[in-house]
Amino acid sequence: MATTLAVLLIFAAVAGFWSAHRAAAEAAIGFGRNACAAADVQWLDQTVQFAGLRLRRGGNGWLRVERRYHFDYSRDGEDRRRGRIVLLGTELQELAGPAPRDDEGGGNILHPTARTGTWGAISRS
C-alpha cells in the first residue's frame, strides 16, 4: 500500500512539473511570436527551443522556476538571428531579440512594467 502511494505521488509530481513546463513553453511561443510581429520580422521555425532552467526567488521571496528559451528570427529572409526569452513561471522577465520599429526606424527596447507585468517600449538612445 505504501509503495503504491509513493509511486502515485511521484507520478503526480512529474505530471505537475511537465504540465507547468508545457504552459511556460506555450507562453514563450506567444511572447516570441508577438515580438516578431511587432518588429515586422519573420519568426523562423514557429517554435522556441528550451535552453535551461534554474530556481530563482520571485518578487514575493518564494522560490520559483526560471526557464530560458531561444527562438530564431530573420529580418530579410536571408539572415538568421537568435532571440532569448526568460520566464519566471509563465511571467516574462526578459526578451532579447527583435525590437519593434518606431517611426524613425531606430527600434525600441522592451522592458517590463512594474505593476502590470506587461511590456512597454522605450526609445533607444
Q: To which H or E segment does residue 10 belong? A: helix 2-39
Regarding pTM above 0.85, the answer is: no
SS3 56: strand
Q: Which pLDDT belongs to residue 98?
A: 87
Higher-scoring residue by pLDDT: 47, 121 = 47
pLDDT single digits (tens) 17-36: 999 999 999 999 999 999 99
Q: What does the alpha-carbon distance between residue 5 and residue 60 come to, in Å, rounded to a whole number?
A: 33
pLDDT single digits (tens) 54-110: 999 988 899 999 999 999 999 888 889 999 999 998 899 999 988 776 544 444 445
For residue 81 the three cell numbers come to 538571428
Q: What does the alpha-carbon distance between residue 60 and residue 52 come to, in Å, rounded to a whole number?
A: 23
